[in-house]
């Protein structure tokens, strides 16, 4: 279960030497313990024993607990005083969990017991099946399927070239009703050459799963024997990175404006169990009004287990768990948000070095230097994001809501962001491609380069998208 796995990550390791008293009867308790190795003895005094409750002697030993056992579980339920003392009979290694961390991840025990009772009463004993049903429901309601009439490849007229990427070109195209799109044209032979078939298909699927005003919209996916085409929403305000280069760094209100939209995009992605994994200013595009959208889902992944181990991402944005090959999950995106907030506020990322090995060593140490220009709240937010994943802000029951509630966002107009009524701090200058031709009658399919070898043996299983209003 995902929640229990998160809970396990929140546990910390402690050591007790032989003869050490781990907890004493009569003292307040707020930690639960699991024995990884060694043995402890449980000692309990009664009121009529003539001894103080906290005294530990062989005569009041009631039992012993070995590796795999646990004690102190009542501390998760309430704040009552300890009912017994625990002594280490050998050197002991323990996993500990505080009541605060337990509540943060799963909620109060009383609420969990009430939920379990309600589920049992209503014939829903299998909690995992209920959660999976909820996820399926969310996916069906959030499917990016606003199109009524499918777009046709032979209707796309090329007006110019928008850019060149590692796996193809992006062209400005126009449909029969005059609406304009960005067409991502990917040669099949390159996809096969780099064994990127699964990545291309998954990128397409992920964009169809999420209907968010802060995520790039995929209008159609088509193919010939030479190319795979993604017909995408046109974002002609440029990359956020270009504006950052021009201004060097953003004022904190600007950083809030842009990162709040990233948070809402990630909230949508995580709701359908997708981790993004490639956050950076280059992957945040500005629309014609000045609002932003997250783009490029080539490294994103639908998480079908609690962790994944793929080494991927931009070096400066890599989290310690990726570098140390500990496995990563949704918490990776929280780390990357911390890097993004720092970079937008300072002009460069918190971890920089002349070579990758030095860079990775600095990331693992997690000791960024904060400029004096950072407000107290900004420093606190980034420091709570750039921390080990078991303690990272967001690694709790609230998830992204915990970030939204941070003091740095105190008084922030979230409604103004969601309904896009907040005035953007930058008004983008819309420029056309250098080879722009408004009177063009060149069809997209006629731009296929004959020297590109056909690949009739691979026909990508692209999702059917009827999504054009």
E strands, 195-315, where? 218-223, 227-233, 274-275, 284-286, 292-294, 301-302
- Tally of CB atoms within 10 A around 427: 12
Give the tokens for residue 172: 């400005």
- Tally of CB atoms within 10 A around 211: 16
From the candidates 278, 287, 296, 333, which is the catalytic residue?
A: 278
| DSSP assignment letter at 53 | T
* Residue 280 known to bind ligand: no
Indicate the burial class of 464 (C-beta count within 10 angstroms; 0-12, 13-18, 19 or more): exposed
Q: Angle at which helices 127-141 and 109-121 pack, to 10 degrees?
A: 90
DSSP string, 140-201: HHS-----SS---GGGPEEEEEEEEETTEEEEEEE-TTS-EEEEEEEEHHHHHHTT-HHHHH
Strand order in the sheet with 157-165: 157-165, 168-174, 180-187, 227-233, 218-223
Annotation says 278 is catalytic: yes
The answer to whether 202 and 275 have CB atoms below 8 angstroms apart is no
Active site residue ranges: 278
Query: Annotated binding site for ATP: which residue ranges?
Result: 184
Query: Annotated binding site: which residue ranges?
Result: 184
């Amino acid at each position: 279960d995902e929640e229990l796995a998160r809970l396990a990550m929140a546990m910390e390791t402690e050591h007790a030497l032989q003869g050490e008293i781990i907890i004493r009867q009569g003292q307040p308790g707020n930690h639960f313990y699991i024995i990884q190795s060694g043995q402890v003895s449980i000692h309990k005094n009664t009121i009529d024993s003539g001894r103080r409750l906290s005294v530990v002697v062989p005569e009041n030993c009631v039992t012993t607990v070995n590796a795999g056992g646990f004690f102190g579980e009542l501390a998760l339920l309430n704040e009552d005083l300890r009912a017994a003392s625990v002594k280490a009979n050998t050197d002991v290694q323990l996993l500990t969990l505080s009541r605060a961390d337990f509540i943060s991840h799963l909620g109060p025990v009383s609420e969990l017991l009430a939920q379990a009772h309600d589920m049992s009463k209503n014939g829903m004993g299998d909690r995992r099946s209920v959660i999976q049903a909820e996820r399926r429901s969310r996916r069906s309601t959030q499917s990016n399927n606003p199109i009524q009439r499918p777009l046709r490849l032979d209707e796309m007229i090329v007006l110019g070239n928008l850019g060149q990427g590692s796996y193809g070109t992006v062209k400005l195209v126009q449909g029969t009703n005059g609406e304009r799109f960005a067409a991502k044209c990917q040669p099949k032979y390159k996809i096969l050459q780099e064994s990127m078939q699964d990545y291309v298909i998954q990128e397409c699927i992920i964009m169809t799963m999420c209907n968010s005003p802060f995520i790039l919209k995929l209008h159609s996916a088509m193919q010939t024997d030479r190319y795979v085409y993604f017909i995408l929403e046109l974002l002609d305000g440029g990359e956020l990175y270009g504006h950052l280069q021009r201004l060097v760094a953003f004022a904190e209100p600007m950083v809030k404006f842009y990162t709040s939209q990233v948070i809402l995009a990630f909230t949508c992605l995580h709701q359908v169990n997708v981790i993004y994994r490639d956050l950076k200013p280059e992957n945040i595009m500005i629309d014609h009004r000045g609002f932003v959208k997250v783009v490029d889902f080539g490294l994103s992944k639908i998480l079908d287990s609690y962790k994944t181990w793929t080494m991927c991402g931009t070096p400066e944005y890599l989290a310690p768990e990726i570098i140390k090959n500990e496995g990563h999950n949704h918490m990776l995106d929280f780390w990357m948000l911390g890097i993004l907030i720092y970079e937008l506020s300072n002009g460069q990322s918190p971890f920089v070095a002349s070579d990758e090995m030095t860079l990775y060593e600095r990331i693992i140490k997690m000791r960024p230097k904060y400029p004096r220009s950072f407000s107290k709240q900004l420093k606190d937010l980034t420091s709570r994001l750039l921390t080990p994943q078991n303690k990272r802000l967001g690694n709790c029951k609230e998830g992204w809501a915990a970030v939204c509630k941070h003091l740095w966002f105190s008084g922030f107009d979230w409604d103004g962001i969601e309904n896009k009524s907040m005035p953007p701090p930058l008004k983008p200058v819309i420029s056309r491609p250098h080879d722009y031709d408004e009177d063009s009658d060149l069809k997209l399919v006629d731009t296929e380069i004959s020297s590109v070898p056909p690949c009739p043996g691979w026909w990508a299983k692209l999702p059917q998208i009827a999504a054009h209003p």
